[in-house]
Structure 1
Amino acid sequence: MSSAGARLERLPLSGFHAKLLLIGGAGYAFDGLDSAIIAFVLPTLGGLWSIGGAKLGFIGSATYIGFFFGALAAGTIGDRFGRRIVMMWALALFCVASTFSALMTSYPAFLLCRIVAGIGTGAESAIIAPYLTEFVSARYRGAFTATLSGFFSFGFLTAALMGNFLVPMGHDGWRWAVGLTGAPVLLLLWWRRALPESPRWLESAGHWQAAADVVEGIERRLRDRGYNLPQVRQMPPTDAPSTLSIGQRFAALCSPLHRRSLAVSWIAWFCLTFSYYAVFTWMPSFLMARGMTMTHSFSFSIAIYAAQIPGYFSAAAAVELIGRRTTIAVYLLGSVLAAGLLVISHSDGSVVGAAMLLSLFLNGAYAGLYAYTPELFPTTLRATGNGTASAIGRIGAIVSPVLVGVLMPIIGFAGVFALITAVLLVGSTTVLFFGPRTEGLALEALSSQAESH
């Protein structure tokens, strides 16, 4: 029996969960800050190193090249050796590489640092959602994980503020903006020292007593605060202790049992991430192409990134009200509408308004996807499944900034957004018609449901 799962499923949301949300969310905020700041330094770096087009696109893609390898490694290592150790090392690597990138004086060196920083952010982003999902009962899991992803929006908004005020300050303004993305992470590393390992993972690895100790500690905190905990309910059997090698885990993911979940998650992540970074890596440049000055484009970007906040948190409510699949599909279709409005808009106000709508809907789709993906895989494969989906998504993030840089002079603004629209339609259709239902079910019940199909 899944003792840890049964005990965790009966727990209410509490201060312990709020602490997890804050510390995990802070990691996502720094990830978002690091990803978004590049959009604001691209115009400066283009002039500084006399580069443009594809080379600037490669800078936009560099983080996501590293992200791909970091997400793949984090998933397999997280399932084999635990979630917590991956979170700590990933954050440390990101902090060091991001800070060093601000000191680089040449295009190749800066590119290399961005790739290494991307390995850290990729591992961080891929492991946090599976880790926190395993502490929360089915009653709150979707809204909790979607809210967690909402912290990305604070990182993007902070990047817009830094891009608006720091980058134009002088010759080294871009260095301060990039360097400051890594420095505060040291504080987050200190906070994470006290985080426990996932009890569900501990049981899946055969560490029964350690899992019981973690859950007992959580229960003790709740009782000390006056919570009256209900009896433990019967749960489906937990996964047997896993000794699978990395290769065997990938083989298990590709087996008929998990093939549908894998395909849906890969397509959804690729389509959304391709579209998102095609838009937001180049957003200041898009606005400048519509006749705005660099100063105005950076200022308007603050409003555009701020629209992420209601996008994430409205989707956090929607995933429990209308379900994960419907939420993702609705927000992706909303993104299609917003992209169309952006193409036909001409005045500054209408362009920015359409871009804000696109920001809201794309990030709402992300919130749904972050809640949905960890639920598609059993505990022994959850981090690996989530990591591979995130890594496939980052292929989209690698390809799209470069592709936009190459295609923009050829097919223009309207052509680029027509391509983005087509990709979004593929993603929404895939999730809505082929995605398994996961809401309202304990993680152990989801595993049993998959095995019965």
Structure 2
Amino acid sequence: MDQPPHARTEAFLVDDAPLLRFHKRLALHAGGGPFLDGYVLSIIGIAMVQITPQWGLNSAQQGLIAASATIGIFLGSFLGGRLTDRFGRWRLYTFDLIAVVVFSVAQFWVDGFWWLFLLRVLIGVAIGADYPVAASLLTEFTPKKYRGPFIGSLTVMWFLGAASAYVVGDLVSGVGDQGWRWVLASAAVPAALTVLARTGTPESPRWLAGKGRVAEASAIITKIFGPHATLEIESGSSAGAIGPLWKSGYLGRIVFVTTFWTASVVPLFAVYAFGPRILAGLGLDGRVANMGSAVVTILLLVSCVIALTAINKLGRRTLLIHSFAWSGLTLLLLGLFPGSPVPVILCLFATYAIFTGGAQVLQLVYPNELFPTEIRGSAVGLASSLSRVGGAVGTYMVPIALDRWGIGPTMLGAAAIALIGLAVSAAWAPETRGKSLADSARI
């Protein structure tokens, strides 16, 4: 059982607080946004199997629909980061996912390419806005001993959402030739459940203290951690401002985070948006390809769980470098030997899944630890937005690359991007293991 926080009689920092049931609940419902991100991005791969022949979509249109949610996340992450630093974490914490419910249901009645594209962009905007809000809130409540695994768990929720999408999509799409409508609308269910779970979540005391609302911050800290808990505040910047992000130290951190984040998501998003088609190009087809995508996703989920157990033991830097090195190698082998027997192809995909987990879980850990509270949301939102530019371009290019060059060169391109991530990580990745938020954000 958790130690009752009020039982402690000595003063302690929130960064050194014990792990409470509050933290576990917060991590669970904060993961609702990443779950929906994985679900929405992956479910389109199932739906497109029916939509493409019904609407006669060409490769460019397929790429635009697949990339639409990612485009929305680009816009929403930046906007959500600015708003959450200026107006607080709590205000956006439920409103953004209410929008996901509404737009997901609206997809059921969509009757044309551009309407579907627009709705999925709007869904992406709402999900993107949730990233800096939920991640900042979780970061600012969680003790440093558990911060890495807890923030990294948001990525686990992404893969759980992706795996759920493949299973639900495969089952629901079989209801008829209009099954894709139910497939796309199904995202409203986890979105609504997350909204209900988030009701009553308190505002971040770090954000409140940074705005001068010290009494409110102290009341929340006392209620959760007890009367002897205190808060160490990072050196301040203008809340919601972009200017401080371009300071010498922070600019380097933005470049590092954005580059490694992009290098980790581009191959991954390509695999998810067109997983069944890529596996079909490698010799699998039909339900075997759909289930193969689900198996790979489950392995990715396991990989992220393994990475969470190693993040404090190996450190952030070592975990990131090894993740890029070995996942990039497997993509290279897939590109060089696309005609290998099916068991070999599946083994290589599984190996990629196992090794990419480290880079995936660090996507949110690094930006939340490297920037102070006053600009944390803006930094996470900006890095997320910029990385999604690469993700959107990569997703858009997949069907075009498959049509023009085939599966081998497409996988070689993915390998090249992963190896760029390796080079950037080896050159710039810092180590933030065991540091308080004030120390890790200091430049």
**Taking structure 2 as the reference length, what is the TM-score of the superposition?**
0.93
1:243 CA drift (Å): 5.0
Alignment pair present for 1:322 and 2:318: no
Q: 1:333 aligned to 2:329?
A: no
Matches within 5 A, 1:109-258: 109-220=115-226, 238-240=234-236, 243-244=238-239, 246=240, 249-258=241-250
SS at match of 2:402: helix
CA-CA distance at 1:215 after TM superposition: 0.6
- Write the letter of the residue equivalent to 2:364: Y
Worse-matched range after superposition: 408-417 or 44-53? 408-417
- Which of 40, 47, 52 is 2:58 aligned to? 52
Question: Which of 394, 397, 400 is equivalent to 2:394?
Answer: 400
2:7 maps to: none
Alignment of 1:286-325 (within 5 A): 286-325=278-317
Paired residue secondary structure (2:69):
helix
Q: Which of 408, 416, 420 matches 1:426? A: 420
Q: For residues 145 and 271 of structure 1, do their structure 2 counterparts lie closer, same or farther at Cα, with a shift above 3 Å needed? A: same
Alpha-carbon offset, residue 339 of structure 1: 1.0
- Per-residue deviation at 1:238? 3.6
Asked whether the 8 Å contact 2:325–2:419 carries over to 1, the reply is yes
Instruction: Give the distance between the partners of 1:236 and 1:161, measured in 2 at CA.
Output: 45
3-state SS of 1:78 partner: helix
Distance in 2, matches of 1:138 and 1:188, equals 26
Of 247, 267, 279, 2:259 maps to 267
**Residue aligning to 2:435:** 441
In structure 2, how many angstroms separate the alpha carbons of the residues matched to 1:159 and 1:237? 40
**What amino acid is the match of 2:281?**
A
CA distance in 2, matches of 1:325, 1:128: 24
Question: Does the aligned pair in 1 maintain the 2:321–2:422 contact within 8 Å?
Answer: yes
Structure 2 partner of 1:284 = 276
1:234-288 per-residue CA deviation (whole Å, 9 max, x = no partner) reads x865434x655x5xx2111011131111110111112112221122211101112
Runs (4 or more) in structure 1 with deviation over 6 Å come to none
Distance 1:261-1:363 versus aligned 2 partners, 3 A rule: same
TM superposition shift of 1:356:
2.1
Contact 1:39 1:280 in 2 (8 A): yes
Contact 1:311 1:362 in 2 (8 A): yes
SS of the residue 2:31 aligns to: helix
CA distance in 2, matches of 1:137, 1:184: 28
Alpha carbons 1:99, 1:183 under 8 Å: kept: no
1:14 matched to 2:20:
yes
CA deviation profile, 1:59-109 (whole Å, cap 9, x unmatched): 110001111010000111111111121222211111211221222011111
Task: Give the CA deviation at 1:359.
Answer: 2.4
What is the aligned partner in structure 1 of residue 8 from structure 2?
none
**Residues 184 and 150 of structure 1: CA distance in aligned 2, closer, same or farther (over 3 Å):** closer
Cα pair 1:324 1:369 within 8 Å, conserved: no
Deviation per CA, 1:102-150, whole angstroms, max 9, x where unpaired? Answer: 2201111111100000101111123222220111121111112112321
Alignment partner of 1:342 is 2:338: no
Structure 2 residue identity aligned to 1:266: T
Deviations 1:289-335 (A, max 9, x none): 23322222112122111111211111111211111122122111121
Q: In the alignment, is the contact (CA less than 8 A) between 1:70 and 1:119 conserved in 2? A: yes
Q: Which amino acid aligns with 1:184?
A: P
Gaps of 5+ in 2: 1-10
* TM-aligned CA deviation for residue 232 of structure 1: 5.6
> Secondary structure, in 3 states, of the residue corresponding to 2:127?
helix
| One-letter amino acid of the counterpart of residue 211, structure 1 | A
List aligned pairs for 1:82-101, cutoff 5 A: 82-101=88-107
Distance 2:108 2:324 in 1: 35
Task: Supply the AA of the counterpart residue of 1:322.
Answer: L
Aligned-partner SS, 1:437: coil
Whole-angstrom CA distance in 2 between matches of 1:133 and 1:232: 17
Assess if the C-alpha contact under 8 Å between 2:210 and 2:233 holds in 1. no
Pair 26,236 (structure 1): closer, same or farther in 2 beyond 3 Å: closer
Q: Which residue of 2 aligns with 1:365?
A: 359
Q: Which segment drifts farther, 22-31 or 389-398? A: 22-31
Superimposed CA distance per residue, residues 38-60 of structure 1 (whole angstroms, 9 cap, x where no aligned partner)? 11112211101001211101011
Q: Which runs of 5+ in 1 are unaligned?
A: 221-228
- The letter of the residue matching 1:404 is V
CA distance in 2, matches of 1:266, 1:195: 30
Identical-residue share of aligned pairs (%): 25
Q: Is the 8 A contact 1:261 1:436 kept in 2?
A: no
Instruction: Indicate if the aligned counterparts of 1:74 and 1:126 stay in contact, CA closer than 8 A.
Output: yes
